[in-house]
Structure 1
Amino acid sequence: MRVHFIAIGGSAMHNLAIALHQKGYQVTGSDDTIFEPSKSRLDRHGLLPNEFGWFPEKITKDLDAIILGMHAKEDNAELLRAQELQLTIYSYPEFLYEQSKNKTRVVIGGSHGKTTITSMILHVLHYHEKEVDYMVGAQLEGFDTMVHLTEENDFIVLEGDEYLSSPIDRRPKFHLYQPNIALVSGIAWDHINVFPTFDNYVDQFRIFMNSIVNGGALVYNEEDEEVKRLAETTENPIRKFPYSTPGYSVEDGETLLFTPEGEMPIEVFGAHNLSNLAGAKWICQHMGIDEDDFYEAIASFKGASKRLEKIAENSTSVAYKDFAHSPSKVSATTKAVKDQYHNRTVIACLELHTYSSLNAEFLKEYKGALDAADEAVVFYSPKAVKIKQLEEVSADQIEEAFSREDLIIYTNPEEFQHYLKNKDFSNTALVLMSSGNYGGLNFDEIKEWF
């Protein structure tokens, strides 16, 4: 099968390209720019385009499928040529569904926790040598790619993102998978550029629950009011399995999970991660892993890439980086670090980087999000606000939004890095929260400061 990717360099897209190449497909692709690590990984598999840009001549009648990435525009020259030739054009999630129509589809949804829960499930299955197809939004230890597709595996585990499918398909990705088994971890307003009201955003999860196949299963977080309400009121004829945060304790910086066999030390920490673990356990049980086997495997799970990922440590201090950027994630991550290291000074640094977080109207959603930290820092780039064509945001607005008078605010990357380099990190837990890099911060350098 011959497949061409328009915008092959994306995080998800390049992984799908590699997975199809490994499956034996003939894969080509284009993009106007490709960053690391996508660039090196595509190159290693012989899939890196010879030159950047869009080339309509690459689009020919003998292509079996076009896969269109979100990064491309509606007037993309290659897309227009594919439409002119009436080729079959798939969005990323549409193509994944086509690849998994005859499998049992397990889809993990939620505003937060979905990457971690998907990663936990895959870790447990990998530990017990249970082969499944998958798509996850982070690089995992022991896995070569974030996408794996075969003809023979019975199950596919999919991280269900609520963002749009493609420039010409405005449906949320997770509406297209039609799960046999689904999980919803929580609902907290996000992607306000696409879902302008909270009710509109919540409605996407109602549609997702209704997309579960008849007789399928819904695993849901009953501690989240919106999730519980939607799960209990859906008229879809499905089986429902609520979960909640299990009992645990923290002793000397170590989290102990309460299990039927007694207390068990685990690598991950924080109430939100323990809740994620409970959801993952239900899903694994639906996939044939019993409770004892789940606990045995999850003990060695260290977390998904960029999700409370430990990047530096010495005898008295520790540093983490985390993908958290939405208010609920920032709050949960900051609280988790303080609970785990309550005898240390917690320094929480947040980069406002996404369209939502830099929106003047949305900022008020961050009220109290950094309250658990002893020292709180916010970094944002006025240049990024301009690039995103948003209304200008002032330092005063940010301080008011977070409702914290001692909030430290930086807009200059060099000044922020100078602050970090000259900080005394004795008896400290540092957490750097961002979906970016604070205007050029080298995370590897942080080890030298500890």
Structure 2
Amino acid sequence: EILDDAAGFLMWTQAEAGTCCPLSMTHAAVPALRADAELAAEWEPRLASTVYDPRLRVAGQKPGALFGMGMTEKQGGSDVRANTTVARPLAEAGTYLLTGHKWFCSAPMSDAFLVLAQAPGGLTCFLVPRVLPDGSRNVFLIQRLKDKLGNRSNASAEVEFDGTWARRVGEEGRGVPVIIGMVAATRLDCALGSAGLMRQAVAQAVHHCAYREAFGGKLIDKPLMRNVLADLALESEAATALALRLAAACDDGGEQERAFLRLAVPAAKYWITKRCAPVAVEAAECLGGNGYVEESGLPRLVRESPLNSIWEGAGNVQALDVLRALRREPGALDACLTEIGRAHGADHRLDRAVKALFTELADLEGIEGRARRLVERLALVLQGSLLVRHAPPEVADAFCASRLGGDHGASFGTLPSGLDLEPVVERARPA
């Protein structure tokens, strides 16, 4: 079921990424709500509904509900333990009044929000409804909507809590462990979203070059343009393969796959989302001046492309999370190496890259300063293993030669000679 949702998410983000944030938040709220069986029983049917009434009403009177999230504050950012929003217990068990400020609140039009605040027992997760059970509005003061680079069709707000009623989710002091399930799910959606944006950018570039004639022939038939298009297609296919592999692991739910996800999700989120911006910009360049004009659709993709890398923990946060998993959960590394090892012996360049990864992992002295390099290598060998096993030989060969064999320049269009690039480009061509 999660794999089906992931495929739909990957497709939909190509058409309209703005609605993906509330979809992602709503879907990701489920694992956090399951920390409280009563809350989960009340809210899950609403979150799973395919019918929605956008009016602000008591949630119990609506056929479906949307969830947002509010974690970050001015002084802390990704360091949510520095949050200063205060939760004061009320007489009714499990209920509190919140006072504080949230610098980023995602999807402020939602029916309810998962937020973090300091309760007497420490940082705790809370459910904040927009409308109270008696039909009155909860105190949810929108200070402003963020003026963002992209993703402008989706609102992000700065909000104030001033005696805002909330229900505790999980135990006091366990806010981060409770909400981390939501964060992991939204990080997967970040990877899927970037993979979708890359796919759309590459599809637009290949389509344009298939019909554009210049210098005596179709652009797609020119060796240099074919190299660029094939290089972009490799990046897109590798991102899609890894993101959907993570979704399949979520569907499985077994202990081995959970261990795999603990390391693979932050690594994939780091690498896939970082590759999105250069892919979108290069794809726009394939259209020449037309790619800089709004009617082409590429400027929207370019503006959207940095979003997923920044959201749900920017690059350094993901890299440090990988280090944390390596130190605290050795089973996570074993699971990743088992996945990578399924392609052992199939390509000498992949085998050599895996050995280099082992060397990197063996030297933990000063590892934090090398964390990005380590995470990049981990993501690349995961992608390489998947493509060697599941992609056409031409795709796997070109990926391993360029990304793992080191025969690649600093920009797209620098694939080595001797590769069969025509089927790589045709594979990425829209039907």
Decide: shared fold, TM above 0.5.
no
Smaller-chain TM-score bracket: under 0.3
Greater relative contact order (Cα 8 A, min sep 6): structure 1 or 2? 2
* Higher percent of residues as strand: 1
TM-score (norm: length of structure 2): 0.24
* Higher percent of residues as helix: 2
TM-score (norm: length of structure 1): 0.23
